[in-house]
């Protein structure tokens, strides 16, 4: 898991006065230039609904799709995909942190959060030095919100600090950000966040946005959230054709070669494919792999033996939030194949009408993430 990179070096705590956060604050882009924040503020302040298309390369923005695909537009607006990236200064984010505090423990200290005209920031209780600015918020808050700041690093160029404190929906609490080892921080900045560089930093933005690349402490070409065009590709040509003729030629957007595999590749790009997992984990399949649905599904007899008939969208409308789907709808997806009338499929000797998910796709709680995941390796579990 890339977010869990471990610092293996014996770390030394260097408290150079020049690195105190007072200096750091001005080092961050947020303080140097308002420009990148303002363009992003357009997106998050009024939520995705008023998102202004600002990316070239054939992208038009999700609001343009609304005209002809209102239903998918409205559904997507309620999905976590549509809310998974914002500015930390956005009220919806800042209100969950500002005025609160939380003790991370030694050698970090107690974090205190504050929102002022410069945005959201954090300081360490009892230390009078300046505060550390918090720029971006990842996660819709359906379960959690984690904060991220970009900064200049003498050696590595641009780096991202993933703040050590996150907000969790369960019990509306602040707590430790998951996947961060309790090591001695190497610098003052690392007291506030775990440092990410290069690919890991870029991927963190990639999975939570439609477009955007980190260049010199800014996110260039930012369109927040996982929107229509992240999955379907740039829509300009499709929209042009749809407006020019009554029936646009099929697949002027997206691909006509859409199959089970390409769909698992699409969702797995972010929900993780086997390539993101170590070989040992793949072999042993520990419970924590339940978090990575494509990995489990690929092992399921349902997938292997149905020869392309089973894909993510057999059970999930990709536009509709899962919190909106009832258990009986899920059971109905199983019964589409496993029904006594269809002799081509085996049926369950225990139940052919209900309870399939609890027995064959049990949920594992991930306490540190404040949520749980259903094991997509669909099978008979020994305890059943």
196 binds ligand HEC per the rule CB under 6 A? yes
Q: How far is the CB of 278 from ligand HEC (least distance, A)?
A: 15
Residue number with CB closer to ligand HEC (286 or 349):
349
Using CB under 6 A as the binding rule, the residues of this chain from 32 to 61 that contact ligand HEC are: 60
Stretch that binds ligand HEC, among 29-37, 75-83, 114-122, 150-158 (CB under 6 A): 75-83
Burial grade of 231 (CB within 10 A; 0-12, 13-18, 19 or more): middle
Structural tokens at position 176: 């430790």
Name the token pair of 251: 């697949």
CB nearer to ligand HEC: give 24 or 160.
Answer: 160
Minimum CB separation from ligand HEC for residue 122, in Å? 15
Q: What is the rounded distance in angstroms from the CA atom of residue 82 to the CA atom of residue 307? A: 32
Kindly state whether residue 67 participates in binding ligand HEC, applying the rule CB under 6 A. yes
Does 299 bind ligand HEC (CB under 6 A)? Our answer is no
**Judged by CB under 6 A, does residue 255 bind ligand HEC?**
no
Binding residues for ligand HEC restricted to 147-166, rule: CB under 6 A? 148, 162
From candidates 123, 164, 218, 230, binder to ligand HEC by CB under 6 A: 230
CA distance 26 to 95: 24
**How far is Cα 357 from Cα 331, in angstroms, rounded to an integer?**
7
Interface with ligand HEC (CB under 6 A), residue from 30, 87, 266, 289: 266
CA distances from 290 to 21, 147, 180, 272, 363 (A): 39, 25, 20, 11, 8
Residues 79-138 that bind ligand HEC (CB under 6 A): 79-81, 84, 138
Does residue number 346 form part of the binding site for ligand HEC (CB under 6 A)?
Answer: yes
Q: Where are the beta strands (DSSP E) in 66-143?
A: 85-87, 101-103, 110-116, 119-124, 132-134, 136-138
């Amino acid at each position: 898991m890339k977010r869990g990179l471990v610092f293996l070096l014996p770390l030394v705590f260097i408290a150079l006065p020049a690195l105190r956060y007072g200096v750091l604050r001005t080092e961050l882009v947020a303080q140097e230039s308002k420009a990148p924040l303002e363009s992003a503020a357009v997106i998050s302040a009024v939520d995705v609904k008023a998102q202004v298309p600002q990316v070239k390369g054939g992208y038009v923005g999700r609001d343009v799709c609304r005209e002809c695909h209102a239903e998918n537009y409205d559904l997507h607006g309620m999905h976590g995909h549509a809310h998974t990236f914002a500015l930390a200064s956005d009220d919806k984010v800042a209100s969950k942190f500002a005025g609160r505090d939380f003790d991370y423990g030694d050698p970090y200290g107690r974090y205190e959060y504050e929102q002022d005209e410069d945005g959201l920031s954090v300081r360490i209780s009892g230390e009078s030095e300046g505060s550390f600015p918090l720029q971006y918020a990842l996660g819709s808050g359906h379960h959690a919100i984690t904060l991220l700041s970009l900064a200049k690093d003498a050696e590595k160029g641009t780096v991202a600090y993933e703040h050590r404190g996150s907000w969790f929906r369960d019990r509306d609490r602040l707590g430790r950000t998951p996947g961060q080892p309790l090591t001695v921080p190497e610098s003052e900045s690392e007291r506030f966040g775990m440092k990410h560089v290069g690919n890991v930093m870029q991927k963190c933005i990639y999975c939570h946005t439609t477009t955007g690349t980190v260049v010199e402490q800014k996110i260039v070409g930012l369109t927040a959230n996982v929107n229509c065009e992240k999955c379907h590709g740039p829509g300009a040509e499709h929209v042009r054709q749809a407006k020019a003729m009554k029936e646009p030629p099929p697949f002027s957007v997206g691909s006509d070669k859409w199959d089970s595999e390409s769909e698992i590749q699409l969702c797995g790009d972010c929900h993780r494919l086997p390539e993101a997992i170590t070989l040992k984990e793949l072999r042993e399949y520990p419970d924590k792999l339940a978090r990575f649905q494509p990995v489990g599904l690929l092992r399921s007899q349902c997938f292997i033996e149905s020869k392309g008939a089973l894909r993510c969208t057999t059970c999930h409308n990709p536009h509709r939030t899962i919190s909106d789907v009832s258990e009986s709808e899920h059971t109905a997806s199983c019964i589409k194949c496993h029904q006594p009338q269809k002799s081509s499929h085996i049926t369950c000797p225990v139940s052919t009408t209900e309870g399939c998910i609890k027995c064959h796709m049990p949920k594992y709680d991930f306490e540190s993430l404040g949520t749980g995941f259903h094991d997509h390796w669909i099978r008979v579990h020994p305890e059943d």
